[in-house]
Homo-oligomer: A and B are copies of this chain.
Amino acid sequence: MAPPPDAPFLRACRGERGPTVPVWFMRQAGRSLPEYRELRGEGSILDAIRIPDVATEITLQPVRRYGVDAAILYSDIVTPVASIGFGVDITPGVGPVVERPFTSAADLDRLRPLDPEADLPYVLETVHNVVAELGDVPLIGFAGAPFTVASYLVEGAPTRTWTKTKALMHTDPDLWDALLDRLADQALATLRAQVGAGASAVQLFDSWAGALTPSDYERFVLPASAKVLAGLADLGVPRIHFGVATGELLGLMHQAGAEVVGVDWRVPLDTARSRLAPDVALQGNLDPALVVAGWEATAEGARDVLRRNDGHPGHVFNLGHGVLPETDPEVLEQLVALVHSEGRADGQPSLLDAGTEP
């Protein structure tokens, strides 16, 4: 029961005119939903992800409530490394914490190749279950990009400065490249398996890539992310590539091999487009904090995003980063309705067809 190829979300990813502007939200499944908090209770997120019935229900909750145009798999970017026993857990209120951080070549041995069928059977079961329930709505699979996963393994805990990570890449580039190559293989394996199980698109989350200079990104990060994205090309599913504070990296993140570039709220969509070829699809980019500020701020901000997109059919509406826990779900519900009713996906001749049509 695959969703039809003309589902609005898939059309927008391909830059094709559709009936409306599709919308979904990063972290739409999560702490902002009372039904999520009720189901999850206490305990590690990683445990919930390991129970397909729970992960399936959590993935479906926001689709039911909001009527979004895509579901996103309930999982985590550290799920693959955790599944092969690297010793990662997610501490509530803190984030991923690593028992023994990655410091030397010996730690490469702790990163054996991922076998998704054997290591992540629960993830694939969740994908199967979700796709069976979703019907016409596409499921987006995802993985953490090699850099962002590496930064967790090297730092050992969330950081604001990424000093250990940057020190490793600059002082031992061979070891860094070997680490990123293994993580690229893992991301590729899990994404291929998710698509094999029914996901209609993928998002590669390089959440913290924006901490890097463009030259460091190009030398130390892009090759591994390009390996992941190139390895998916034959599957024919849209590839979305996202990170925060990546205004200076948008061109490189597209060049890595993505049909859709995710844009955080800092970069107005028209500015983002000016840094990319006119046919690149964009995803974004309402400031998630505006949604917390209430409906008026949300509506005004959403209209500004739509105005700056100017009817370009290659637009997947989203927030500029994940839904914040303090978010009122009713505001998101109204936001979906606004995007569906006011969004234009008619295609601007000035943007799309310049030079090809009279």
Which A residues form the contact surface with B (CB < 8 A)? 161-163, 166-167, 170-171, 210-216, 245, 247-248, 265-268, 271, 287-290, 292-294, 296-297, 301, 304, 324, 326
Contact = CB atoms under 8 A, between A and B. Distances in A.
B248 A294 contact: no
A265 B326 CA distance: 31
B170 A215 contact: no
Contact of A170 (B167, B290, B304): B290
B166 A289 contact: yes
Contact of A167 (B162, B163, B210, B293): B293
A290 B166 contact: yes
A292 B248 contact: no
A334 B293 CA distance: 48
A267 B290 CA distance: 26
A95 to B, nearest CB: 11
Nearest to A216: B287
Contact of A294 (B171, B267, B268): B171
A161 B327 CA distance: 12
A297 B266 contact: no
Contacts of A171: 293-294, 296-297
B161 A210 contact: no
16 contacts: A161-B288, A162-B289, A163-B289, A166-B289, A166-B292, A166-B297, A167-B289, A167-B293, A170-B293, A212-B266, A213-B287, A215-B268, A245-B266, A247-B247, A247-B248, A248-B271
Nearest to A246: B266
In the A-B complex, the 8 residue pairs with the closest CB atoms: A170-B297, A167-B293, A166-B289, A170-B293, A163-B292, A247-B247, A163-B289, A245-B245
A315 to B, nearest CB: 17
A152 to B, nearest CB: 16
A287 B247 contact: no
User: Which of A214, A288, A293, A326: most chain B Cβ within 10 A?
Assistant: A293
A53 to B, nearest CB: 32
A293 B212 CA distance: 14
Given A163-B292, A163-B324, A247-B247, A213 B268 contact: yes
A326 to B, nearest CB: 6
Given A210-B266, A215-B268, A245-B245, 12 more contacts: A162-B289, A163-B292, A163-B326, A167-B294, A170-B296, A170-B297, A171-B293, A171-B294, A212-B266, A213-B266, A245-B266, A248-B267
Contacts of A289: 161-163, 166-167
